[in-house]
Amino acid sequence: MTFEPLHLSRGGTSVLLEPHAHGLPVFTYWGPALGPLSAPDVAALVTAQQPQRVSGGIDVPARLNLLPLESTGWQGTPGLTGDRGGSYLYPRFVVTSALVEDDGATAVIEADDDVAHLRLRVRIGIDGSGLVTQQLAVTNTGSDEYEVRSLTACFPLLPSAAEVLDFTGRHLRERTPQRHALTTGTYSRASRRGRPGADATVLLAAGVEGFGFVHGLVQGIHLAWSGNQQVLAERTPAGGSFLAAGEVLAAREVLLAPGESYSTPAVIGSWGHGLNDLSGRFHRHLRSRSSHPRRPRPVTLNTWEAVYFDLDLPRLRALADRAASLGVERFVLDDGWFRGRRDDTSSLGDWYVDESVWPGGLSPIIDHVRALGMEFGLWFEPEMVNTDSELARAHPDWILKPEGRLPLPGRQQQVLNLAHPAAYAYILERLDDLLSSNDIAYVKWDHNRDLLEAADARTGRAAVHRHVEALYRLLDELRRRHPHLEIESCASGGARVDLGILARTDRIWTSDCIDPIERLVNQKYTGLVVPPELMGMHIGGPVSHSTGRAHTLPFRAATAVFGHYGIEWDISDLSETEYEVLARYVGLHRSWREDLHRGTVVHADLTDPAMDLRGVVAEDGTRALFGYSLTASSASYPPGSLTFPGLEADSVYEVRPAVPEEGHPGNGQSALAWLQAALDGAPVRLSGRVLAEVGLQAPVLLPEQTLLIELTRLPAMP
């Protein structure tokens, strides 16, 4: 079949696909909108991109197809690998259908290989935010099994791409950025942890050298999948470069019987003039979903770092009383409530209320919390099981394990095989019963270990793919039965942060570390994909449980104020001053909450790495809240100017501290002029353009302090 080149455009983004004589369409372009293009314009662009044949090469120069394969001359990373018992290793697809849907921004390409007996379907579309989503599916049209070993979606990079940004990390320090040059060859990041992992890169980005949040053309991709995965950046010797992503599959993990299909997770691509622009497309995309949380995100108190396993009812009631008086709207009972659970070594899987701790069931604490006007939430870890549990003793075959033995333990626990029908049914019944018999509005769904040797005990076959699919079915079914239930995805903190899990949950727990210094970095880079209303940001205690560092209450409260706000701290014995400060920040968050969770998130590019300026500009542009933090001693003294991105260039804004009660933070020897003017009732007024290009003198803060700055747009002059 022959077809004309396809130009898809929407949301400021263009995609160009051109026919290829020997296979699937060439993915010629992805990036800023090319404007309305006539058929001759598109034809000219296609001609302009045709490569020459060169000495030493094949006679048909290789191009980046929607599915790059050796059969079209491609000798880089292939888009599909698989076989039929060692044969039919090199498929060659012929396009049978190429349709553009009514929106003019979505194409569906179908192709067959009548020799290898495979059918391919590629769906590529641009949504209203300008995000490009690809999904590929391969179907076995033959009479025997076909094994899929890999299937990946590719996105071409613009010629200016010269530098790669991705992220690594560990438990308590997820989303740590790292950069390097985009050189010839393949840069690959793979996760084989059964979940993305604490070291996973939430985004793989490439752009002009030195791109930042405000400047520099940059492109990035995200894989919406909660299991094993791979992302890569590759530059070929011919000079072209691309990003790609797909699921990592173990040997014989996906065996297609005749007529069966395998579909990739969605791979989502964004671009921007700076990372603020790139992340804004993700945020608008997520906020446009019908499942996106619409009501205000309740201020939450979680009991874990407050009481750990000490679930004494009078103590919990006192904690709930104090929380409600501060303006907390949701009270979450964490680990330790179920049968036999006195520490983290036993009882996972025995999801019955412990009668020895709760002789009256959970009703006494739930009724108390609800009478205070708060919602009640409960912690679960449904995918895990302790070997010291009634469940493991009764059903050892429900555990993911290789033949004849258990994998090495992690957190004294093993993993339940949700793809086992009986295990799935048990977990669904237990959760459904607890949710039906109690007034529970929220579930904190935890996942506290990587998967090792994750095989189905019945067959010995690798089981991560089926386990993740079963997890998604379980979450979908619980949401169907309990449509008003909200679910948090926690995985040792932030080890499962992806848009696959967020399609079925209402927020992620960004990290188990709530040290504000660590969280400033973690929240900044998690936010490249995840908007703040889906990120749990809590105020910890005076001394961080994970780092041992001590921080002031204003600093802890201010660094968390932009997200889904909460408290992870025993607040039952606050001093009068602590109580007043905490109540002030909870009230500040609630007064800004609608704008914080609907507005545009921005980060400034400042030359001093100790200085951090981030903010949210309201959706209607009428006001903005910024937080300026000093994370270490500054190289400059005084520290220079702050520039404020994201404001309306021609509008005029009044600038004042958002918490006037904090007065002059830091150790400056005199008052800062613009800050003093605001405190005196005469705030400075500057245009958005001036604030973005010239800025304001930064206050002299002590290390590990934050000043919240409020900007209010003035009415236009008549």
Q: What are the residue numbers of the active site? A: 446, 512
Nearest to 430 by CA among 466, 382, 469: 382
Among 118, 97, 127, 93, residue whose Cα is nearest residue 109: 97
Q: What does the alpha-carbon distance between residue 37 and residue 45 come to, in Å, rounded to a whole number?
A: 10
Residue 76, helix vs strand vs coil = coil
Tokens of 188: 């690959």
User: Distance between CA atoms of 27 and 310, rounded to whole angstroms?
Assistant: 58
Euclidean distance between CA atoms 705 and 699, whole angstroms: 11
Whether the Cβ atoms of residue 596 and residue 533 lie closer than 8 Å to each other: yes
Query: CA–CA separation, 555 vs 520, rounded Å?
Result: 11
Phi, psi of 670 (to 5 degrees): -145, 165
Residue (of 72, 85, 84) closest to 117 by Cα position: 84
Beta carbons within 8 Å of 41's beta carbon, 6+ residues apart: none
Q: How many other C-beta atoms are found inside a 10 Å radius of the C-beta of residue 85?
A: 9
Q: Which helix (H) or strand (E) holds 602?
A: strand 600-603
> What count of Cα atoms within 13 Å lies in the side-chain half-sphere of residue 508?
27
Contact 404/361 with Cβ under 8 angstroms? no
What is the rounded distance in angstroms from the CA atom of residue 514 to the CA atom of residue 228? 27
CA angle 434, 435, 440 (to 5 degrees): 115
HSE at residue 76, side-chain half, CA atoms within 13 A, is 28
